[in-house]
Amino acid sequence: MGTLELNSEADPAATTARTAIMNPTEAGQAITESPHVIPNASVVEKAWAPSNGGKIKTDLAIVLENIAAPFKKPNILDVKLGARLWDDNAPPAKCAKLDKVAEESTSKPLGFRIAGMRTWQGAAGDGSNGISKDGYKLYDKNYGRSLAAETVREGFEDYFMLERGAVAKGPLRKVIRRFLEDLMGLEDALEHEESRMYSASLLFVYEGDRDALKDALVTEQEELINGANGTEGYEKYVEEDDDDNEQDTPAVQGLKLIDFAHAEWTPGQGRDENLLHGLRNTVKVLEGLLESP
């Protein structure tokens, strides 16, 4: 894989091309002298080419957020959404392959499946019994595909480390309630948008260290109480652009909608029921963890 190098000075040829687009009159001399520019032709800055392991010189960069960074021991769950997992441009062979995956998992009946997860077990393992040396138990895609609509609750019980049929209590109950609030907020937003997202995922993260989780909940409560009033304290806590606050406040849980490789706006086509079907069923499963089955 190549590396990304940001230029402090733009490539002269690219600068000429951009100048020609922005102001053809001023760029006239440059166009005449440049052997790479064809008069009366559309100007493309640079065609894409494989880096072959070399550096990519560019003025642009994509900044990615590591949602797991604020947690001491993050427990992570990836839930793939949709009964249909391919977009309109997918070749027939890929469509057939993904349809088979959906048919043989919970994707088709429920509109979602567990794609993978890891949970912190509290002590370093020896690499056996699915527990890594850093103390995490790993669940791969085959684990999620082994679950049926009738047993998918077990997957979420494993994620929240609950006994079979147990009702979540204490801090974990608060975590699940927060996830439900996030999910229902996301559902409301998507119901008012006309878009299509195929093979998008819900990424769940919560603090897997029980002591750290309790401390994070206590810290949050103290910050709310110590504000001038409840509203001010809450606004201080949820201010997303306050970088210092994000670093100082221990994280409890987080939820993100990810994987937009096959996403687009579709005006006039209505909301994305393929995605929403899986989202709503995920809500139902989490609600079930708050009450006896």
Q: What does each of the 293 residues of the chain score in pLDDT, given as a tens digit? A: 444 445 444 444 444 434 333 343 444 443 334 444 445 555 455 566 666 777 777 888 778 889 999 999 999 999 999 999 999 999 999 999 999 999 999 999 999 999 999 999 987 666 677 788 889 999 999 999 999 999 999 999 999 999 999 999 999 999 999 999 999 999 999 999 999 999 999 999 999 999 999 999 999 888 888 864 454 444 544 554 545 444 567 899 999 999 999 999 999 999 999 999 999 999 999 999 999 76
Task: Say what the pLDDT of residue 65 is.
Answer: 86
Task: Say what the pLDDT of residue 12 is.
Answer: 45
Phi, psi angles (nearest 5°) of residue 269: -105, 5
Tell me the HSE value of 103 on the side-chain side, using a 13 A CA sphere: 6
Cα torsion through 20, 25, 27, 30, rounded to 10 = 120
CA pair distance 262, 123, nearest whole angstrom:
39
CA pair distance 256, 201, nearest whole angstrom:
8
Q: Compute the chain's Rg from CA coordinates.
A: 24
Task: Say what the pLDDT of residue 31 is.
Answer: 36
User: Rounded to two decimals, what is the model's pTM?
Assistant: 0.75
Task: Say what the pLDDT of residue 182 is.
Answer: 98
Task: Say what the pLDDT of residue 247 is.
Answer: 53
Could you tell me if 83 and 106 are in contact, meaning their C-beta atoms sit under 8 angstroms apart? no
Tell me the HSE value of 171 on the side-chain side, using a 13 A CA sphere: 20
Could you tell me if 260 and 199 are in contact, meaning their C-beta atoms sit under 8 angstroms apart? no
CA pair distance 162, 156, nearest whole angstrom:
8
Task: Say what the pLDDT of residue 34 is.
Answer: 42
Q: Which residue has the tokens 């977009």?
A: 87
